[in-house]
Amino acid sequence: MTASRPLSGTARRHRLSLIACFTAPGGIAALASLFAWSGWLAVISSVIALVVASQLVLTQTVWRGASLTVKAVAMAAFVASVFWVIAMMFAPRLTVLDLRGQPVVATVVDHDASHVGRGEEHCYRVQRTDGSPIFGDICRDSDEFAVGETMTVLVDPSGLIAPETPSEVADARFWQITGLVSLVATLVLCWVTGGLTPCVTDGHLVRRRLPRSPRSRYRSKYQS
């Protein structure tokens, strides 16, 4: 195996590319959470990010030649990014409502059920008891509320974020911790993976050869 020193510029580029690919979907998920956009945006962005990463860094050649260690670290980075995306689908909206949400007595006025994969998504539109509308829907994986039911919800004063029940907002801390831990894990694992990929050749990490001293080169020249 020919020893060579991987270019630091390549490792830096790979690291930044992986970090961008595996953290950007979480940012999109956060925006979708805040502005009541479709959750499919986060899923689609994750797939696109994985494709881009496979073209820029984790190419077929690199993946085929990588050792099990490199593959395991790369897969761990992807899994951490998935948890980061999932956390961002909940944490931003719940955090805002936890910090500044105002309790309002509301009535369920509409129920919309749709199929999502093999399951169902139930979304409920609510309004204040005086008839004034409330922006956004409350969505669940199962049929939880009935049309005409009255309940207390937390509402964003600016009217830009969908409401939520206090029991769900109470889970904000869990999603905050999950998001923070998964983000840190994603950054660290992407950094490690990006540093390893330039060294991959024939399934092994290329050994770095220390530069020979001028005296050693001079001696070997005259010995030959």
For the chain, the structural domain boundaries read 8-90+173-208, 101-167
Q: Is 34 left (phi over 0), alpha (psi -120 to 50) or beta?
A: alpha
Full-model pTM: 0.78
Residue 77: which of 96, 58, 101 has the closest Cα? 58
With 60 as the cut, is the pLDDT of residue 174 above it?
yes
Tell me how crowded residue 197 is: count the other CB atoms within 10 A of its CB: 25
Average pLDDT of every residue of the chain? 85
Q: Which of 106-110, 139-143, 158-162, 217-221 has the lowest mean pLDDT?
A: 217-221
Q: How confident is the model at residue 120 (pLDDT cuts 50, 70, 90)?
A: confident
Q: Are 63 and 72 in contact (CB under 8 A)?
A: no
Is the pLDDT higher at 117 or at 93?
93
Give me the mean pLDDT over the 195-217 stretch.
53
How far apart are the C-alpha atoms of 65 and 50, rounded to whole Å?
19
Residues contacting residue 93 through CB under 8 Å, at least 6 positions apart:
33, 34, 161, 162, 164
With 60 as the cut, is the pLDDT of residue 96 above it?
yes
Q: Which of 19-28, 46-55, 173-182, 211-220 has the lowest mean pLDDT?
A: 211-220
Tokens 């399951």 sit at which residue? 119
Q: What is the pLDDT of residue 164?
A: 94
pLDDT over 70, % of the chain: 84
